[in-house]
Structure 1
Amino acid sequence: MKKGFKWFDEKLIKIINRNMKSKFLDRFMPRFTNLGGVVFTTFFILILLILGKGKARTIGVQGAATLAISQTLTYSLKSLLSRERPYNILKNLNTFGIILKDYSFPSGHTSASFSIATTIALNMPKLSIFVLAVALLIGISRIYLGVHYPTDVVAGIILGVGSAIVVHVYLMDYIKSLIDLFQI
């Protein structure tokens, strides 16, 4: 099974990182990927928490809880599994000069973007296709930039979606009661 994942990773990363390469994507992907980064995701949630009313504030609260869970799991797994980045292993990847000091598995950008996208989708179903497409493109950008294997991105999707569902279905009533208790 491990050989199957390795084959999948190597084939798909070559398709996305090498065969999809274009001048447009070379400019677009390094910028777009930042939508899944810590600065944008934190800023987005803070704006919803501070300025949001009604459903927007609920999404902010739920998104904050979801991000806390997904990122704790993501960075715990990174430390535990210590998977090297693909650009350290595979030859001839387009790396765009990106050198990261942490590990590859799972993708933090992908888990963060799917945490937020799934939270929005669960609360505003009409936006589902749009927000999930943005999150998927962020995951693909991580492969395009050579900083993640496809299985890193798949794991990030699972962690992000799973965290959002757990918070939405099982924890929101508890979180709302805490907010009411402390009148936050």
Structure 2
Amino acid sequence: MSFSTPPIDLELFRLINATLRHPFVDPVMRAVSSEAVGAVLAVAIVAYVWRRSRGRALALVFLALLTVGVVDGSVNQFKDFFGRVRPMNALHAVHYYEDGRWQRTEHTEATKSHGVSYPSAHAANSMALAVTLMWLWPAGRPWILGLPLFVGYSRIYLGKHYPTDVLAGWLFGAAAALVLLQLAWTCAHILSRRRNQTTSRA
């Protein structure tokens, strides 16, 4: 179910990927988009929230990891369904980083007929983690939200995704996290009520 790129989507992609490029920013975007760096950053954020929230942290950190796992596994199903080709494989003059170096596409036609661009898994995973952590620690919302925003921007900058890929990833990640959080809260509430009823009968 591939679809064409809307003009506004293409214009915004060109703005971020070409017009706003700068050699100083290049390594920063590579680092932000790196799975290894992302994992270290996520662990650091989780550890900090753990210290701030104490009692509830263990269960909710586990929930955060579970949420990211569910989102990462399910988002790939949507990628296969939509089959959108990545910008670096579909557009001319796209700056992208691959094989250890920065490159620029020279092809004028798409090099693939089916791709995995939509939605962005990086955006979905980072947003799912951020929503879960913000639910755990409301005071940290402003800066925790910066994680998925920064990650999503880097995916466009690196030529891997269109803005709508990132937006779809954000929405999917946030929705999945909210559903799982609500489910977890409901289960915890039911268990607590049953525990209280058992205690009162004893």
TM-score by length of structure 2 reads 0.73
| Counterpart AA for 2:131 | T
How many angstroms apart in 1 are the aligned matches of 2:87 and 2:186? 41
Q: Quick check: 1:85 aligned with 2:86?
A: yes
8 Å CA contact 2:120–2:168 kept in 1: the answer is yes
Structure 1 gaps, min length 5: 178-184
Partner of 2:23: 23
Q: Quick check: 1:107 aligned with 2:108?
A: no
How many angstroms apart in 2 are the aligned matches of 1:162 and 1:134? 17
- CA-based RMSD of the aligned residues comes to 3.0
Per-residue CA deviation, residues 23-69 of structure 1 (Å, 9 max, x unaligned), is 1211100001126x79718x739x76xx9863321331221231133
8 Å CA contact 2:31–2:37 kept in 1: the answer is no
8 Å CA contact 1:73–1:159 kept in 2: the answer is no
Partner of 1:65: 66
Q: Quick check: 1:168 aligned with 2:181?
A: yes
Aligned residues: 170
Partner of 1:144: 157
How many angstroms apart in 2 are the aligned matches of 1:155 and 1:16? 18
8 Å CA contact 2:32–2:38 kept in 1: the answer is no
8 Å CA contact 1:83–1:103 kept in 2: the answer is yes
Q: CA deviation at 1:175?
A: 6.9
How many angstroms apart in 1 are the aligned matches of 2:11 and 2:150? 19
Partner of 1:76: 77
Cα gap change, 1:85 to 1:54, in 2 (>3 Å):
same
Cα gap change, 1:98 to 1:119, in 2 (>3 Å):
farther
Q: Which moves more between the two structures, 139-148 or 69-78? A: 69-78
How many angstroms apart in 2 are the aligned matches of 1:68 and 1:172? 19
Q: CA deviation at 1:164?
A: 1.2
Which one has a bigger Cα radius of gyration? Answer: 2
As a proportion of its length, which structure holds more helix? 1
Q: CA deviation at 1:145?
A: 0.2
Q: CA deviation at 1:70?
A: 1.5
Q: CA deviation at 1:6?
A: 1.6
Cα gap change, 1:64 to 1:13, in 2 (>3 Å):
same
TM-score by length of structure 1 reads 0.80
Cα gap change, 1:11 to 1:98, in 2 (>3 Å):
farther
Q: CA deviation at 1:89?
A: 0.8
Q: CA deviation at 1:10?
A: 0.6
Structure number with the bigger relative contact order (C-alpha 8 A, sep ≥ 6) is 1
How many angstroms apart in 2 are the aligned matches of 1:67 and 1:96? 25
State the identity as a percent. Answer: 27
